Structure 1
Amino acid sequence: MLVLPLALLLTATPPALDSWATRVCPPSKAEPESNVEMKLMEQRRAECLRKAMNKALGRVILPLKKSRPDAFTQWMALQADYDRWMAEACAAAEEANWVDLTTGERSMGTGYGFTESQCLQRHHAWRGFYADAWARGERNPLAPLSPALEGPAAEARHAWNAYRERVRQTAARAPTQAVDPARPSRKLSRNDWKPYLERLERVLAGPELLATHQCTLVPTPSPDCVQRFADSLFAQMEAPQPPGSSEGGP
Structure 2
Amino acid sequence: MTVPRVVVVAGLAIAFFLIGCRTSPAPEDPMRLAVAKARARAKATRSNHESFISSLCPYPKEGLLAGYECSSIARDRERCLEFSLDRERAALVDQSYGKEWRDLDGLYEDWFRARCGVDQALRWVDLATREWSDRTGQGLRENRCVQRMLEERLFFHASRVGRMDGFWRLVEVRQAAGGRALASLEQARAATEKPAVVKADLSGSVRPESWRELVYRLDVALARPPILAQRHCEMLRLEGDCETKLTLYFHSIGEDADGLVVCKF
**TMscore range, shorter length:** 0.7 to 0.9
Shift of 1:48: 1.4
- For residues 37 and 124 of structure 1, what CA distance do their matches in structure 2 show? 22
| Secondary structure, aligned partner of 1:50 | helix
- For residues 71 and 251 of structure 2, what CA distance do their matches in structure 1 show? 24
**Deviation readout 1:60-89 (Å, 9 max, x if unpaired):** x1213xxx5xx2332221111111111111
Mark the structure with the bigger radius of gyration: 2
1:48 corresponds to which of 75, 80, 95: 80
**Cα gap change, 1:192 to 1:147, in 2 (>3 Å):** closer
Q: Which residue of 2 aligns with 1:215?
A: 233
- For residues 119 and 34 of structure 1, what CA distance do their matches in structure 2 show? 20
Q: How many residues align?
A: 215
**Cα gap change, 1:12 to 1:39, in 2 (>3 Å):** farther
Matching of residues 171-182 of structure 1 within 5 Å: 172-173=195-196
2:242 corresponds to which of 225, 231, 235: 225
Q: Does 1:159 pair with 2:177?
A: no
Any stretches of 5+ residues in structure 1 without a counterpart? Answer: 1-9, 176-183, 242-250
TM-score by length of 2: 0.71
| Secondary structure, aligned partner of 2:254 | coil
Q: Is the 8 A contact 1:90 1:116 kept in 2?
A: yes
1:80 corresponds to which of 95, 102, 106: 106
| Secondary structure, aligned partner of 2:253 | coil
**Deviation readout 1:109-159 (Å, 9 max, x if unpaired):** 221101011001111000100001112277x95432233111111111111
Q: Which residue of 1 aligns with 2:219?
A: 201
What is the aligned-residue RMSD (CA, Å)?
Answer: 3.1
1:92 corresponds to which of 118, 121, 127: 118
Q: Percent of aligned positions with the same letter in both sequences?
A: 22
**Cα gap change, 1:84 to 1:224, in 2 (>3 Å):** same
Higher share of residues assigned helix: 2
- For residues 153 and 69 of structure 2, what CA distance do their matches in structure 1 show? 27
Using the TM superposition, name which of 153-162 and 10-19 deviates more.
Answer: 10-19
Amino acid at match of 1:26: P
Shift of 1:166: 1.5
Any stretches of 5+ residues in structure 2 without a counterpart? Answer: 1-41, 259-265
| Secondary structure, aligned partner of 1:143 | helix
Amino acid at match of 2:205: R
Q: Does 1:25 pair with 2:57?
A: yes
| Secondary structure, aligned partner of 1:235 | helix
Q: Is the 8 A contact 1:54 1:128 kept in 2?
A: no
